[in-house]
A and B are shown apart, each in its own frame.
Chain A
Amino acid sequence: MMITDGQKHQQPVLIYTNDCLSDYFELKTSGIHFIHGPQYTPQGLMVEFTDSQGNYYKILEERSYESDQ
């Protein structure tokens, strides 16, 4: 299922997790449709998915990053 323009502008339900990759793997195995694979963002590791009602979710594992210097 593709994300529609309406869903893109919809406020996502943000779910915080300690281990995004593990949650992504479990949910994907149970048939959840992900908009894309895990993405490394400045806030941490994040995945996005929609449910069958078209609700839009983000799972975020917040990470505090050290500077590269």
Chain B
Amino acid sequence: MKTLKILSNQNKLYSETTSEAFYRDEQSDFSIRMVTRGTEEYTLNNKTINVFPGYFLVLNDGTSYQRKIYTDGLSNTFSVQFSKRFLADYNRSLSCDDTALMDMPFDDANTPPGFYETLYPLKNDLMFTLLHLKDHFEKKADNELLLNEYLYHSLLLFYQVQHKEVLINSRRLNFVKPCTRNELFKRLNQVKDYMISNCNQAISVEELSKVACLSECHLYKLFKDLYHCSPHQYLLKIRLNRAKTLLNDTNYPINEIIGMIGFENASSFIRLFKRNYEITPQNYRAKNLA
């Protein structure tokens, strides 16, 4: 089932529930794309990114992509797309003072900004806001002012996430030349996206090194600088987080979940889960069901 709503300011809301879909040669406005159940695969700029619950993908205005859903059960996806004008106007309201905004309230020459097209963590205020927006949208709320209020807050919160995940984090890479820092940050983001997208499979350091086009030792050092942990520890965090989501949102037996998140050994999974969250997976699920 697909639902699309185009607001009068050309912002769009889209949700889809299906187990099988394939869309080739798509193009979008600036958009935030999330999955509340299952997974959705995007291919853009010669890379493949899987969106799982707990993350969202950002696409810039004009980006070409293809997306597909092939899952055992149903996948539920939701995206918000901001018109060029809305985004440019929001961006201008942040960068100009009130006098300039009053003197020239409608500046159509203003171009919208571009962002890193990567996976961002979906949690806290942005997650709550998008889930409320999705809920209103699916209940067919037709009050555009209310929907735009949520869209405005979603954008505001996305800017905060982007500020932290990109601007603040990239400063941890200590390079004099901004172009070197930006290039390395981009490559490390590709490594991060690769790990999230393929967390259900065995991932070797050699693979990551190829994704980043960096030697293994260079990658290890830079990754530690940026994320304050090794690639292996980061992958472990992704897998345990994914296990939490699957324990919460599905009825899959724990043994099946262990396979779905790329663990080979049940006892090491249970031990690591308990060490990280101070509760066993069985008790975690029982506690959330109660």
Contact = CB atoms under 8 A, between A and B. Distances in A.
A68 B132 contact: no
Contacts of A25: 143, 145-146, 149
Given A21-B153, A22-B136, A68-B164, A63 B128 contact: yes
Contacts of A12: none
Contacts of B146: 22, 25
A36 B129 CA distance: 19
Interface in B120-172: 123-125, 128-129, 132, 135-136, 143, 145-146, 149-150, 153, 164
Contacts of A45: 125, 128
Determine which residue in A38, A40, A63 has the highest number of CB atoms from chain B within 10 A of its CB, and name it. Answer: A40
Interface residues of B, number: 15
A61 B127 CA distance: 14
Contacts of B164: 68
Determine the main DSSP class of A at the interface with B.
mixed
B124 A66 contact: yes
A19 interface: yes
A29 B145 CA distance: 10
Interface residues of A, number: 13
Contacts of B129: 21
Contacts of A68: 164
A40 B136 contact: no
Given A45-B125, A65-B123, 8 more contacts: A21-B153, A22-B136, A22-B146, A25-B143, A25-B145, A38-B153, A40-B125, A65-B124
Contacts of B149: 21, 25
B125 A63 contact: yes
Interface string A31-47: 00000001010000100
A65 B127 CA distance: 10
Nearest to A65: B124
Contacts of A38: 153
B143 to A, nearest CB: 8
21 contacts: A19-B135, A21-B129, A21-B132, A21-B149, A21-B150, A21-B153, A22-B132, A22-B136, A25-B143, A25-B145, A25-B146, A25-B149, A29-B145, A38-B153, A40-B125, A45-B125, A63-B124, A65-B123, A65-B124, A66-B124, A68-B164
A62 to B, nearest CB: 10
A38 B132 CA distance: 15
A49 B128 CA distance: 22
A40 B160 CA distance: 12
A5 B164 CA distance: 37
Nearest to B129: A21
Contacts of B145: 25, 29
A68 B126 CA distance: 13
A22 B131 CA distance: 12
A66 B123 CA distance: 7
A66 B164 CA distance: 15
A63 B128 CA distance: 8
A55 to B, nearest CB: 25
Contacts of B132: 19, 21-22
Interface string B88-128: 00000000000000000000000000000000000111001
Interface in B233-267: none
A61 B129 CA distance: 11
